[in-house]
């Protein structure tokens, strides 16, 4: 199958299953592009997630665009991006119509509360995956789980402290982190 078509179909499935969006979808994208299809390495995936977080726009869309660009060039980027957003647009329009007709239903409100809880669990899973990638260089714990990157841990805790204590603009924190990472990991 053509790689561009395969990117479209893969990200169409990801877009269809992206309940919670953003950080909640990172493990699903990683499973599809790193583990199942082997299009990119975990290191490249981590770099793509980092860049996707710093660029304007939704994380899932940015990630799909960068993965598509890496795997299939400009046509791959278009296919992955359209695949990622197509189901969301269609489902959003259908849900808008549904909620307009069932605005007062207690059952609908309870289903939404359940979806909020599931989204929180997916976001926590994505945060754990990102931490594992940053601190151990892989997304799943294994036999060498004790090979912690102490420099990355120190940078993470320092930036977390700075964010909590002085609440600077996140762009400043990203710039400081990028400069420190460049200096420490060259």
Q: Can you give the pLDDT of all 186 residues of the chain as single tens digits?
A: 799 999 999 999 999 988 666 777 888 999 999 999 999 999 999 999 989 988 999 999 999 999 999 999 999 999 999 999 999 899 889 988 998 888 789 998 898 889 888 888 888 988 888 888 888 887 777 667 678 889 999 999 999 999 999 999 999 999 999 999 999 988
pLDDT at 113: 85
Rounded to whole angstroms, the Cα distance separating 117 from 59 reads 20
pLDDT at 35: 94
Rounded to whole angstroms, the Cα distance separating 142 from 52 reads 27
pLDDT at 129: 85
- Cα angle at 164 between 171 and 176, to 5 degrees? 35
pLDDT at 67: 97
pLDDT at 30: 93
Place of tokens 């996140």: 170
pLDDT at 42: 92
Structure token digits, residue 77: 């980027």
pLDDT at 75: 97
CA torsion 88-86-89-30 (nearest 10°) is 20
Residues in the chain: 186
């Amino acid at each position: 199958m053509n790689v561009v078509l395969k990117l479209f179909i893969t990200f169409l499935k990801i877009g269809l299953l992206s309940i919670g969006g953003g950080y909640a979808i990172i493990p699903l994208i990683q499973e599809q592009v790193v583990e199942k299809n082997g299009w990119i390495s975990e290191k490249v995936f981590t770099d793509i997630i980092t860049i996707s977080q710093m660029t304007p726009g939704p994380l899932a869309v940015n990630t799909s665009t960068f993965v598509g660009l890496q795997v299939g060039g400009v046509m791959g980027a278009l296919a992955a991006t359209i695949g990622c957003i197509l189901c969301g647009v269609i489902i959003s329009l259908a849900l808008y119509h549904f909620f307009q007709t069932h605005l007062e239903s207690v059952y609908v409100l309870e289903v939404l509360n359940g979806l909020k809880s599931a989204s929180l669990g997916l976001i926590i899973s994505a945060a754990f995956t990102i931490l594992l990638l940053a601190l151990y260089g892989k997304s799943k714990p294994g036999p060498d789980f004790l090979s912690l990157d102490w420099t990355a841990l120190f940078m993470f805790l320092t930036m977390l402290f700075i964010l909590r204590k002085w609440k600077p603009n996140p762009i400043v924190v990203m710039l400081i982190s990028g400069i420190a990472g460049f200096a420490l990991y060259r």
